[in-house]
A and B are shown apart, each in its own frame.
Chain A
Amino acid sequence: MSKGEVVLLDCWASPFCLRAKIALAEKGVEYEARAENLFGGKSDLLLKSNPIYKKVPVLLHDGKPMCESTIIVNYIDETWPSPPLLPSCAYERAKARFWADFIDKKVFDAVCNIWKSKGEVPETAKNEFIEILKQLEGALGEKDFFGGDSLGFVDVIAIPLTCWFYAVEKFGGFKVENECPKFSAWMNKCMQRDTVARILPDPEKVYEFVITLRNMFGIE
């Protein structure tokens, strides 16, 4: 469904960019992904479109820029309403926004605390990460997806972060499947969706990318 030109300023490994890509794919929206070199020199378009944070993703719809992945996904949902990501009921929408906000506040920082550790990963970092996943399991309950029977807003916000989990498991010496089987089952359900399966990068590649990052930051 054409509704103007859509461009995404992107980085392949960024879970935040992946959120936007999954949302666009779910809606069947065609777009151009432009890879940014985050370490070699950000493009003029990126710096102009996101002068405050200078970060990806940036969504440009007919040249108008939008920043911050959760806000971008919200915009995509409102502009291309079918199929809906956010629930139609205001209370359920508030709950979805709450869990998206929780994920934004907690998950990536916990992931980074593990892979940025020098030497052995502290138990506190591992435990904090697992605790967060357990809280998300509580929010999931008995549902297949956070969105209920199908992929919803919270699923789109959460699933891209999971392609970094393999790296976290390697460094932390644990498996999400053992510690949080319900969460692991939800990950597998999401991966059965074509949009998610073809968009999420290979976790091995992400692991190699994380090793590169560690070398860049001088972490042994």
Chain B
Amino acid sequence: MADEVILLDFWASMFGIRVRIALAEKGIKYEYKEQDLFNKSPLLLQMNPVHKKIPVLIHNGKSVCESSIIVQYIDEVWKDKAPLLPYDPYQRAQARFWADFIDKKMYDTSRKTWATKGEEQEAAKKEFIEVLKTLGGELGDKPFFGGDNFGYVDLCLIPYYCWFYSYETFGKFSVEAECPKFIAWVTRCLQRETVAKALPDEKKVFEFVSVLREKIRVE
């Protein structure tokens, strides 16, 4: 019986990109359905009635929501190829901790680097760099957060990279200047075809962020 896999997603969403990378790592065929977040489809509202957000994975008609949960689900169902989470329970707990840290810290902080101005923006920039430095500390000298291999934490974090150009341009700072080791890790991730193909063009993201800034009247 062939699996039917559908992904409700938005092209620029760093959360959606996580799922796309996971599906690609496992070699899963799926149907991608682009969603209009300003005019949500009945399917999206039906499949995620609680949060009404993307991404949503629909596997043989049953929906799974929340990107970290979707990625873990994918890892468990298609367990014979490209394991994303470590095998050892303690290492798994560590991976979940850092994915949770990324979920708690990256989005709100990074959003403020382009969605605010003045003192609030300056504070956000400092905090964002601090978050990257903390992650850099956890990475240490390993090639990936997963160790020798690309894994769950790498997958949760790398999608933010296509938004960095926007953060840096609107926030007037350079991640490479502040955290060169972090950019070295990014380069290693981008050498993976699954990652390179899943990340949208940063200039397209920048255009999108420019439109968002207009909408929320930042200037």
Q: Are A71 and B69 in contact (CB under 8 A)?
A: no
Among B11-19, B60-68, B198-206, the stretch that binds chain A is: B60-68
Give A54-95 as 1s and 0s: 1 = Cβ < 8 Å from B's Cβ atoms. 000000010010111001101100110000000000110110
Known: A94-B69, A97-B72, A98-B65. A64 touches B97 (CB 8 A): no
A97 CA to B68 CA in the complex, in Å?
10
Q: Are B89 and A75 in contact (CB under 8 A)?
A: yes
Q: Are A90 and B90 in contact (CB under 8 A)?
A: no
Q: How many residues of B contact A (CB 8 A)?
A: 22
Known: A68-B100, A90-B76, A91-B73. A98 touches B89 (CB 8 A): no
Instruction: Give the dominant DSSP class at B's interface.
Output: helix
Task: Specify which of B62, B93, B94, B96 is in contact with A91 (CB 8 Å cutoff).
Answer: B62
A64 CA to B66 CA in the complex, in Å?
29
> Shortest Cβ distance from A140 into chain B, in angstroms?
14
* Residues of B43-62 contacting chain A, CB below 8 A: 50, 59, 62
A73 CA to B50 CA in the complex, in Å?
24
Measured CB to CB, the nearest residue on chain B to A100 is B69
Measured CB to CB, the nearest residue on chain A to B76 is A90
Q: Are B90 and A75 in contact (CB under 8 A)?
A: yes
Q: Are A71 and B96 in contact (CB under 8 A)?
A: yes
Residues of B within 8 A of A (CB): 50, 59, 62, 64-66, 69-70, 72-73, 76-77, 89-90, 92-94, 96-97, 100-101, 134
Top-6 shortest CB links A-B: A78-B89, A94-B73, A75-B93, A90-B76, A94-B64, A71-B96
